[in-house]
Copies of this chain bind each other. A is one copy, B any other.
């Protein structure tokens, strides 16, 4: 005889005939050597596949009611019946409402235990209008971000923050900008999530406008291009960070400093570029256009750019690179060109991922605390979800220049 575990699906060919279904069940029960089968509730005449409930009786003694032939789940009603209370009472026990007496709670909990009850979260979400889920749009497969550790780390932070408050994550991908927006609409209007985290802010961001218009809770990682006062965001002070990185080089005597950055549509690039320019200007160093490179992360393109840069009449003596991984590419290209770091050229990069200390030479890199970026984002999003009066916030995650061996004082020529 079987124990009271779930019973695998019996294949019922025609769902249109009650008798046939019943018959199938009998056959199934017999061949599995269950003792008896009792249909105990016929949910409606207008029945659908999956609406029958039954009890298995073992060895003539009634055991627990077991569900499962057509994947019928244990519901709150079943628990209520077993505990001899109303469904609403069970619901309140689950919510640990103070209006229920201890005695009843015990009784109900016991029944839940016996039946192996687990609430149906879709039903819960539908009724309570909340999902305990936060939404995320992944960068599309082809995206630059995917190649480097930023994404997983920030995800890890988000996940950690969500986990602490028992929130889950819901993600989709969008291949194009249009698809991405659709994905967001699906999550938001489809009521799949209570709030959203955006992983990057573009200069003209449709998603942000959409969420703003709908007044839907969201947190942005990065700095909004506009509406700064209306958007809770968590960011580094990228302007300062880059300024400091550049100043670090300046203090080491470098005047010819090039900037290697990413897509100018990303606000972070813009900010950092400004910080770079400020540092140079403060030091009275002239800005040179040919020292500023925006390359997508593709290695080949990067190589080209670096080669061009180094073959200028006055090649730079130092580089600021906005990403460790990109810096690694640069490092390789320099190596090919026979230029050695830091003797011939100094490099400061960003992100301080694990990689940066394992590379030769270890990279001086600005640690922007990616994990915390994600962690604070989800934490603050949840606050916002749970209290709609929560004020707009701007959370700045501190950065720190980690000195390693990719920079050194400019040798006097």
Contacts and interface: CB of A to CB of B under 8 A. Distances in A.
A189 B118 contact: yes
Most buried by B among A5, A8, A147, A325: A147
A200 interface: no
A11 to B, nearest CB: 9
Nearest to A156: B141
B141 A159 contact: yes
A152 interface: yes
Contacts of A337: none
Contact of A171 (B71, B160, B168): B168
Specify how many copies of this chain sit in the oligomer.
2
A163 B175 contact: yes
A155 B354 CA distance: 20
The 4 A-B residue pairs with the shortest CB-CB distance, nearest first, are A118-B189, A121-B190, A122-B125, A169-B171
Contacts of A151: 152
Contact of A120 (B156, B190, B359): B190
Nearest to A147: B354
Contacts of A8: 215
A73 interface: yes
A185 interface: yes
A9 B388 contact: yes
Contact of A73 (B191, B192, B329, B355): B191
A85 interface: no
Interface in A197-219: 213-215
A110 to B, nearest CB: 19
Interface in A336-362: 354-355, 358-360
Contacts of A160: 141, 173
Contacts of A171: 159, 168-171
A173 to B, nearest CB: 5
B163 A120 contact: no
Nearest to A187: B168
A131 B191 CA distance: 12
Contacts of A146: 152-153, 156
A328 interface: yes
Interface in A159-194: 159-160, 162-163, 168-173, 175, 185-187, 189-192
A398 interface: no
B121 A191 contact: yes
A192 B121 contact: yes
A162 B183 CA distance: 13
